[in-house]
Structure 1
């Protein structure tokens, strides 16, 4: 599992930044001053193109964050079901009776199995890797993975809200610069 950013929720909410380092879009308060900046040179097309590029980047970030959110939301229930099964195996490991279970073979396909009492379990870790663990180690690993996944999901949801605010700010900035240009052209025509 990836290491979680060390920022606490309180630290993050004070700084209003994202967990993944998404840059904040500055709101253009004074369009005249903004357009007079050396980097903008009063060229509306250049500024609108730059804002449009930023808008596209924020949309791309939103897409990636939404994908991450879907992935975490699907993995957490899977891991919780695995944890439940590990707990069931722990409760039955000292029993002399075999366990009759149904397990998910593939999507919507279940198979029946008879499992003798055991103190070991194999966990699928992904990337074609499966390892054998004792039930206690497997339980602690699954609990840790679930906690990390829930924290990451919370961070992704926060970043998703943050990036949506950024592309909204960028859209408003684009509209303000465009309107500034329209007013400037109208003023030029009238004189």
Structure 2
């Protein structure tokens, strides 16, 4: 079975309903299509959450990287850097930062590590690259999933309409 680069299976397109239904009943086929559509929708919701998380994370990484680069450029100076830093979404505090060659970065799960400026820049640049790559792949997966959902909905409609047509022709033949 074909799949996209991240292993999401491609939905089969039912071109000839008569031929396709030779191996399965209408009810079983419709149930199978409904189940596949549900799985694609579940994957789509998961990818939408992942995209939202990445879209939130990328600006934070960029902002942190910009600050580390600024502090690195000021580390040669003897003057302290005066700044406002964000404590919370709407709370900022004044800070005076003496010249330094290290910076502390939150890694998550209440873990903070001290890095040299170069190490911090490398780490943040790497994380930013990975996050942007993941965002691109997630967006591609979402487009792929939308196509697969549409294909499965079309398949379902075609099989359902074929079944209605068959029942009407059977009723007409018996009448």
TM-score by length of 2: 0.95
Q: Which residue of 2 aligns with 1:9?
A: none
Q: 2:11 aligns with which of 17, 20, 25?
A: 25
SS in 1 for 2:21: helix
Cα distance in 2 between the residues matched to 1:99 and 1:64? 42
Q: Which runs of 5+ in 2 are unaligned?
A: none
State the distance in 1 between where 2:148 and 2:109 align: 35
Q: Which residue of 2 aligns with 1:3?
A: none
Please give the residue correspondences for 1:35-184 in structure 2 after superposition, counting only pairs within 5 Å: 35-37=21-23, 40=24, 43-184=25-166
Separation in 2, partners of 1:50, 1:29? 17
- 2-side partners of 1:64 and 1:118: how far apart? 42
**CA offsets per residue over residues 47-93 of structure 1, 9 Å max, x none?**
11111111111111111101111111111110000011001111111
Q: Hey, what's the Cα distance between the residues in 2 that align with 1:171 and 1:30?
A: 15
Q: What's the offset of the Cα at 1:20?
A: 2.6
Displacement after TM superposition at 1:187 (Å): 1.0
Shift of 1:149: 0.7
Secondary structure at the counterpart of residue 162 of structure 1: helix
Structure 1: 4+ residue segments shifted above 2 A: 16-20
User: SS of the counterpart of 1:190?
Assistant: helix
Describe the SS at the equivalent of 1:90: helix
- Residue 17 of structure 1 deviates from its aligned partner by 4.1
SS in structure 1 opposite 2:36?
helix
Q: What is the count of residue pairs matched by the alignment?
A: 172
Q: Which one is further off, 87-96 or 18-27?
A: 18-27
Deviation at 1:184, TM superposition (A): 0.6
